[in-house]
Amino acid sequence: MTAGYPGGPGSGKTAPEDTGVAMWSTGPKPPSDLTKHREIDTVRRIQHLMVLCWMLRPDGSLARVLAKALAVDPLPLAERAAAVPDLHPQVTKAWLESMWDPATLTADEMEVVAWQNNPAEILVAIDEIHAIEKLIGIRLTTELCD
């Protein structure tokens, strides 16, 4: 899709290099056939995350830290990452701390991790996410994967 193409979302128009399939929704989609779309649960989780992020105030606490997190090179964290063994709060705390060991963090990573230690920032972020969850009726949750 060409950036700035004059059709824009909702126009139903496509950029010249597109395959002819409109990139923007032109109306309701048919119900998802779960026998054909086995990843529909994953698609919905992605969409829910998109909606949650979309509804954040751009100048809000949570949006600012998420933007910083997205800007950090993911490779160093990926190299330290391991599967969480359990979702008990103390276990997840230890798991996070193992990946966030100050001796292994880059300066950019340290800035993202340090954000949560500011009570004013984290309390505002909690209020932001609760307000969005209440509005859309979906809570961002954590569960172990297979």
Cβ-count burial of 132 within 10 angstroms (0-12 exposed, 13-18 middle, 19+ buried)? Answer: buried
Residue 17 predicted with pLDDT over 60: no
pLDDT at 32: 67
The size of the chain, in residues, is 146
pLDDT score for 73: 95
Which tens digits make up the pLDDT trace of 49-65?
A: 999 999 999 999 999 99
pTM score = 0.73
The total number of structural domains in the chain stands at 1
Residue 83 lies in a domain: yes
The answer to the question of residue 50 being in a domain is yes
Q: Is the pLDDT of residue 81 over 60?
A: yes
Look up residue 20 and give its DSSP letter. Answer: S
Structural domain contains residue 102? yes
pLDDT of residue 15: 47
**Chain center to CA of 79:** 20
Neighbours of 106 (CB within 10 A): 13
The residue whose two tokens read 């990946």 is: 99
Task: Give domain status of residue 7, yes or no.
Answer: no
- The answer to the question of residue 141 being in a domain is no
Q: How far apart are CA 142 and CA 22, in angstroms?
A: 34
With 50 as the cut, is the pLDDT of residue 7 above it?
Answer: no
Query: Are 112 and 68 spatial neighbours (Cβ–Cβ below 8 Å)?
Result: yes
Mean pLDDT taken over the chain? 84
Burial zone of 5 (CB within 10 Å; 0-12 exposed, 13-18 middle, 19+ buried)? middle
pLDDT band at 21 (very low <50, low <70, confident <90, very high): low
Give whole-number Cα distances, 34 to 5, 10, 45, 123, in Å.
Answer: 34, 27, 15, 39
Q: Domain of residue 70: give its range.
A: 40-136
Half-sphere CA count of 85, side-chain side, radius 13 A? 6
